[in-house]
Amino acid sequence: MEVATMKIICTRKALYDSIQTTQRAVSSRASLPILSHIVMSTQDDNLQLTATDLEMWMQCSTKATVEESGAVTVPARVISEVLAALPDEDVTIEQKEGGRIGLSCGTATYELLGLEPEDFPKPPEVEGEASFTIKSQDLQTLVERTLFATSQDSSRVTLTGVLLTLDNSTLKAVATDTHRLCLATADVMDVAGSMQHIVPERTMGEVSRLASELEAEGTITVNASATQILFECGESRLTSRLIEGQFPNYERVIPTESEKKLIIPTEQFRAAVKRAAIVARDDANRVTFETSAGTLKLSAESPNIGTALEEVDVVREGDDIRMAFNAKYLLDFLATINAEAIEMELTGELSPALIRPQGVYDYTYVLMPMQVRSYVSTP
């Protein structure tokens, strides 16, 4: 008869919250049965949970009363659903005979079928070529300002992630799908080494979520090797594979000079673009920009819907313009800023526009124009 080797007690809420965080690394289509499980292992007076899909490893620790040390695996989806339905009382988890995992809480008792914890893939060691610390709020801002521009085209894998470049005390984040490009920068601390790596979009999204769970003044420590990156966020650790390949030379597509400039009130512009986009949907989200004195006219046309015309007061420098842009791409950018106005620097009808919040120089959005349709102008 096997002897129970692990027994812990912790609060239902603490265990459930940790399970919810950890299981985000569990694949919905696990290639191996063990990958649909979470490993629970004891460390001093903590319970550590680990999950992976072999691309990303999520680890989370929570306080527990450890009566017997050891490790077990539990099916992630099942234990999450059980814990969600249990009362807010202490939960006891202990290893039983035959690989069964006992779970009791109040009057409820369950025995779940586990697998051998020794078969679970261990997180890779990240012995870094570079490391740094960044404020959690700054990391969230970097992700918010870049993630939406990553490509969804799996045939161009290097564009499906965010390029992170560490240079002295500055971290640059870049994303592009070739139609638009985002560049955001932030100050970092405790810098060692330098790096330039492409981090998968999913990883960056999960790190941002972990960062949002930290206190306002919380920090995140990052270590990177040639193939892996590790983010340490409070009681959680996220290890991820890096994307191999060469990121495009993004600097050459960022305009360095302009002939025309518009200063546009953000809220008025956002509302006008959002309304015009309703009509523009049938024309590849195309919205035409045309200036006249201090007015920017936004127009859209659809043979199945009709026409739209919006006007926004602007400050214009240089000649009048007539260009077209993708309304969705504009709205994606506008959703990430809270400045009162934006600056749009322009050159030719087919040259990219450089857009940023007015007076902000740590965030740049480069947007390729669309071909202008020969619509009949509305008086």
pLDDT tens column, 83-137:
999 999 999 999 998 889 999 999 999 999 999 999 999 999 998 789 999 999 9
7-119 fold: DNA Polymerase III; Chain A, domain 2 (3.10.150)
Of 248, 246, 56, 216, the C-alpha closest to 138 is: 216
Percent above pLDDT 90 for the chain: 89
pLDDT at 214 > cutoff 60 = yes
Mutual angle of helices 76-85 and 12-22, in 10-degree steps: 150
pLDDT, residue 173, reads 98
pLDDT at 219 > cutoff 60 = yes
Considering the segment(s) 255-367 as one domain, its CATH architecture is Roll (3.10)
- Numbered ranges of CATH 3.10.150.10 in the chain: 7-119, 130-251, 255-367
pLDDT, residue 195, reads 95
Cα(306)–Cα(314) distance, rounded to whole angstroms?
Answer: 26
pLDDT, residue 374, reads 65
pLDDT, residue 290, reads 96
Of 63, 71, 58, 129, the C-alpha closest to 91 is: 63
Per residue in 228-246, pLDDT (tens digit) is 999 999 999 999 999 999 9
Cα(5)–Cα(71) distance, rounded to whole angstroms?
Answer: 8
pLDDT, residue 373, reads 77
Q: What is the mean pLDDT of the chain?
A: 94
Single pTM value for the model: 0.92
Cα(372)–Cα(322) distance, rounded to whole angstroms?
Answer: 8
Inter-residue contact 66 to 10 (CB < 8 Å): no
Question: What is the dotted CATH code of the domain comprising 130-251?
Answer: 3.10.150.10
Per residue in 348-373, pLDDT (tens digit) is 888 999 999 999 999 999 999 999 97
